Amino acid sequence: MSASEKLPPQILVIELDEIQRIAICNIIERSLFNVIRLSNINDIETSSINAVLIFAPNVIIVSTSIKEVVPIDTFIQKLRTTAQKSHRIEIPIIIILNQNDNVENYQKFDNGLIEIVQYPYTDSEIILAVKSLLRRSRPILKNRLLRYKDLTMDLSNYKVYRGNKPIRLGPTEFKILQLLLESPKVILSREKIIDYVWGHGHKIELRTVDVHVNRLRNVIKNSKFEPALIKTVRASGYCLKLPGESDYA
Render each residue's pLDDT in the chain as its tens digit; 249 residues: 333 335 678 999 999 999 999 999 999 999 888 899 987 888 899 999 999 988 889 999 999 999 999 999 999 999 999 988 877 788 999 999 998 888 888 877 777 889 999 999 999 999 999 999 988 876 554 457 889 999 999 876 778 999 999 999 988 899 899 889 988 888 999 998 888 787 666 678 999 999 999 999 999 988 777 888 899 998 899 999 876 665 545
CATH topology of domain 145-239: Arc Repressor Mutant, subunit A (1.10.10)
Are residues 64 and 17 in contact, defined by beta-carbon separation less than 8 angstroms? Answer: no
Residues in the chain: 249
The full DSSP string for 191-249 is HHHHHHHH-TT----HHHHHHHHHHHHHHH-SSTTSPPSSEEETTTEEESS-TT--TT-
Residues of the chain with CATH 3.40.50.2300: 3-141
Strand partners, 162: 151, 165
Residues of the chain with CATH 1.10.10.10: 145-239
Three-class DSSP category at 166: strand
Q: Where would I find the H helices in the chain? A: 18-30, 44-55, 72-87, 123-141, 171-182, 190-198, 206-220
pTM value surpassing 0.85: no
**What's the rounded Cα separation, in Å, for the pair 25 and 12?**
9
CATH number of 3-141: 3.40.50.2300
